């Protein structure tokens, strides 16, 4: 079955450490997105990518970095520069604009 896989489901990180969240899709979608979800707020866009080796900043990109070396993979690194990294992170993909969006199960990151 096609879908999006995020790992790990739960992640704990010490302050000052970088951590990488995995997102893999086997839907052959060109576009992939990373969102952050905080309690009481809508999902906010961190980064997106329309094609391999290309990506763009979203609304809240500071303190995050991404890569898109393969079509199926779009990992997100939460760096020590991100001031408030504890949140729920969701990865999504779409074939092209105005098509259905597919989401992963999310990764809950806690900084301790």
- Which residues are near another protein by CB under 8 A? 31, 33, 35, 40-45, 48, 50, 56, 58, 88, 90, 92, 94, 96-106, 108
**Least distance to another protein from the beta carbon of 30, Å?**
10
Q: Is the link from the previous residue into 67 a cis peptide, with omega within 30 of 0? A: no
**Least distance to another protein from the beta carbon of 75, Å?**
19
**Least distance to another protein from the beta carbon of 16, Å?**
26
**Residues 6 or more apart in contact with residue 74 via CB below 8 angstroms:** 23, 25, 32, 34, 49, 55, 66, 67, 68, 91, 93
């Amino acid at each position: 079955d096609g879908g999006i896989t995020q790992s790990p489901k739960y992640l704990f990180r010490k302050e000052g450490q970088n951590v990488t969240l995995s997102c893999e899709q086997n839907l052959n979608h060109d576009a992939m997105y990373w969102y952050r979800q905080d309690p009481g707020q809508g999902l906010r866009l961190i980064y997106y990518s329309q094609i391999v080796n290309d990506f763009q900043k979203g609304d809240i990109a500071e303190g995050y970095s991404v890569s898109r070396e393969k079509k199926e993979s779009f990992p997100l690194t939460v760096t020590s520069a991100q001031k408030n990294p504890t949140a729920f992170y969701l990865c999504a993909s779409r074939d092209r604009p105005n098509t259905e969006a597919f989401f992963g199960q999310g990764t809950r990151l806690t900084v301790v």
